[in-house]
């Protein structure tokens, strides 16, 4: 893992480690905004969900949204943070057209949660990523560039929407591990209902800081910040690019400059947004319009008691309780909806591995193809279990079962109805099958002769042809037996016998 181009001036080839810290902003899944009663909606008509508070009109005063804090506490607990017992707010002052107050209310001096951690899977083992802080703040509005008129328009609907900012400590890592960290964080936030984490709607955004240092070095190198990352894969690719770029600079005897870069997903490169040589001065000071308030032990406990089982714990339980391979357990628990679906199926039919295979195979394939989530599909646990039962009782073949599943998803009808309607019941009436076998053998003389000469594998081809002829409806075991019977009957004494 190194940057490539070797500088001529250097006699010693050194390897580099990258040090990364990740800053995530997620939108809390509240009904209303952080300091007013405006609805926290996405995709509404611009500037329809606004009021004097979130527009920062003179004389208006903010009031804290309790639901936002419940969600924030829930996230802090799920990430094993120490939760602050007193909550304070601060103003971060800066001017930007989409920030009508000219300051953002945030938690600068005291964060809601500190010193947390999250576990990620690391080649079968586990690794803990340290979280520095989790705090609550309000979002800004959105600038929309109108390409037809060339105007810049401002939509204030997002102003004051509650955000949770999650910042890791810098750690020695790889771009791939950072990707895993993001997946793990998203799973926890979705499981706990803290956020929908829909990156397309912009309710999960992340920025990364990266520096490189010689392996074994004690001091971190100069870091750059990369923004404009619209997917977890983009984060990984941007880090890979930036790591390589920084290593090459150092190998050429040049210096990494502290700056903010924008990542372009199309070219796969980073480009300068602004130089960061002077840190911006936000003139933080305590927010005078909001009283500090206490988070009691009771409140913490009540949030904790309502918390769902977290993905990591659930994965371990799936391995323990259902004897699933670690891989299956990881995939199934990666999405709460899928894990719930799996467990409902298992209560109806106690074959966890068979159910897991169906969900990880056909069901998830369909979800990927259609780019939807499980709740968007016409498929209930009862329907999947009915299908598995029909398959296990031999009424349909595996091949047919896949078609039936597709039809269930398409129509919402029960597997039994679809089978009856389409006449897909397994052909095990032997006489009908025997006729097909004879026909296939007659029209494929070469493999039949080869079989007679002792090439046993030639029978496989004929079995395949019969299955094809019956459109996969025949029971493969019966077909195999009938084909062998027919061939042996026609075959002379095997000379090698």
CA 60 centroid distance within chain: 40
Within 11-50, the residues that bind Zn ion by CB under 5 A are 36, 38
Longest dimension (CA), the chain: 104
Binding pattern to Mn ion, positions 80-99, x when CB under 5 A? Answer: --------------------
The least distance separating Mn ion from the CB of residue 376, rounded to whole angstroms, comes to 32
Which residue, 141 or 311, has its beta carbon nearer to Zn ion? 141
Kindly state the number of chain residues that form the binding site for Zn ion, as judged by CB under 5 A: 5
d(CA 477, CA 475): 6
Binding pattern to Mn ion, positions 150-169, x when CB under 5 A? Answer: ---------------x----
Which residue, 165 or 386, has its beta carbon nearer to Mn ion? 165
Give, as one character, the DSSP assignment of residue 48: -
Contact assessment for residue 112 and residue 165, using Cβ atoms and an 8 Å cutoff: no
Angle between helices 66-78 and 175-191 (to 10 degrees): 130
Contact assessment for residue 111 and residue 84, using Cβ atoms and an 8 Å cutoff: yes
d(CA 106, CA 103): 9
Which residue, 139 or 343, has its beta carbon nearer to Mn ion? 139
Binding pattern to Zn ion, positions 44-83, x when CB under 5 A? Answer: -------x-xx-----------------------------
The least distance separating Mn ion from the CB of residue 67, rounded to whole angstroms, comes to 20
Which residue, 51 or 484, has its beta carbon nearer to Zn ion? 51
How many CB atoms sit inside 10 A of residue 323's CB?
Answer: 11
Query: Could you say which of Zn ion, Mn ion, none residue 165 binds, taking C-beta under 5 to 8 angstroms by partner kind?
Result: Mn ion
Give, as one character, the DSSP assignment of residue 375: G
Give the C-alpha distances (Å, rounded to integers) separating 234 from 122, 206, 269, 279, 479: 21, 10, 10, 26, 51
Query: Could you say which of Zn ion, Mn ion, none residue 247 binds, taking C-beta under 5 to 8 angstroms by partner kind?
Result: none
Query: Taking CB under 5 A as the rule, does residue 139 contact Mn ion?
Result: no
> Counting Cβ atoms within 10 Å, is residue 276 exposed (0-12), middle (13-18) or buried (19+)?
middle
The least distance separating Mn ion from the CB of residue 76, rounded to whole angstroms, comes to 16
The least distance separating Mn ion from the CB of residue 339, rounded to whole angstroms, comes to 31
Which residue, 54 or 226, has its beta carbon nearer to Zn ion? 54
Strands ordered across the beta sheet of 285-286? 103-106, 90-93, 285-286
Helix then strand count (H, E) for the chain reads 16, 17
Which residue, 40 or 190, has its beta carbon nearer to Zn ion? 40
Within 164-203, the residues that bind Mn ion by CB under 5 A are 165
Within 257-296, the residues that bind Mn ion by CB under 5 A are none
Chain positions contacting Zn ion, by CB under 5 A:
36, 38, 51, 53-54
Q: Which residues bind Mn ion (CB under 5 A)?
A: 165
């Amino acid at each position: 893992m190194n940057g490539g181009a070797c500088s001529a001036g250097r006699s010693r080839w050194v390897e580099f480690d990258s040090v990364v810290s990740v800053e995530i902003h997620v939108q809390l899944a509240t009904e209303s905004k952080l300091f007013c009663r405006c609805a926290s909606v996405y995709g509404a008509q611009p500037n329809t969900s606004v009021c004097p508070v979130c527009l920062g009109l003179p004389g208006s005063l903010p009031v804290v949204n309790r639901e936002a804090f419940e969600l924030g506490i829930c996230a802090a607990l799920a990430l094993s943070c120490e939760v602050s017992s007193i909550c304070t707010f601060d103003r971060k002052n800066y001017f930007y057209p989409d920030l009508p107050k000219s300051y953002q209310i945030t938690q600068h001096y005291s964060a809601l949660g500190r010193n947390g951690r999250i576990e990620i899977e690391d080649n079968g083992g586990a690794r803990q990523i340290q979280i520095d802080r989790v705090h609550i703040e309000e979002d800004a509005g959105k600038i929309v560039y109108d390409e037809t008129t060339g105007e810049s328009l401002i939509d204030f609907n997002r102003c004051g929407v509650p955000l949770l900012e999650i910042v890791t400590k810098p750690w020695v890592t790889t771009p791939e591990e950072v990707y895993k960290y993001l997946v793990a964080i998203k799973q926890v936030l979705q499981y706990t209902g803290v956020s929908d984490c829909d990156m397309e709607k912009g309710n999960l955004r992340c920025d990364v800081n990266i520096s490189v240092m010689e392996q074994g070095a004690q001091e971190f190198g100069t870091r750059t910040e990369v923004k404009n990352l619209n997917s977890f894969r983009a984060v990984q690719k941007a880090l890979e690019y930036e790591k390589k770029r920084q290593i090459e600079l150092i190998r050429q005897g040049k210096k990494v400059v502290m700056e903010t870069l924008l990542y372009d997903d199309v070219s796969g490169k980073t480009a300068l947004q602004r130089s960061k040589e002077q840190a911006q001065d936000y003139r933080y000071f305590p927010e005078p319009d909001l009283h500090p308030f206490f988070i009691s032990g009771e409140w913490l406990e009540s949030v904790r008691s309502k918390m769902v089982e977290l993905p990591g714990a659930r994965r371990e339980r799936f391995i323990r309780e259902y004897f699933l391979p670690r891989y299956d357990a990881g995939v199934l628990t990666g999405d709460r909806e899928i894990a719930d679906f799996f467990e409902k199926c298992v209560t109806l039919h106690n074959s966890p591995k068979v159910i897991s295979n169906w969900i990880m195979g056909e069901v998830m394939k369909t979800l990927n193809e259609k780019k939807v989530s499980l709740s968007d599909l016409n498929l209930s646990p009862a329907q999947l279990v009915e299908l598995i039962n029909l398959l296990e009782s031999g009424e349909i073949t595996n091949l047919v079962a896949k078609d039936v599943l597709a039809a269930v998803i398409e129509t919402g009808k029960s597997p039994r109805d679809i089978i009856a309607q389409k006449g897909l019941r397994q052909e095990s009436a032997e006489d009908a099958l025997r006729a097909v076998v004879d026909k296939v053998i007659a029209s494929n003389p070469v493999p039949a002769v080869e079989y007679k000469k002792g090439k046993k594998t030639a029978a496989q081809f004929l079995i395949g042809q019969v299955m094809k002829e019956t459109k996969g409806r025949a029971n493969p075991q019966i077909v195999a037996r009938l084909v062998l019977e027919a061939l042996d009957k026609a075959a002379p004494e095997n000379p090698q016998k």
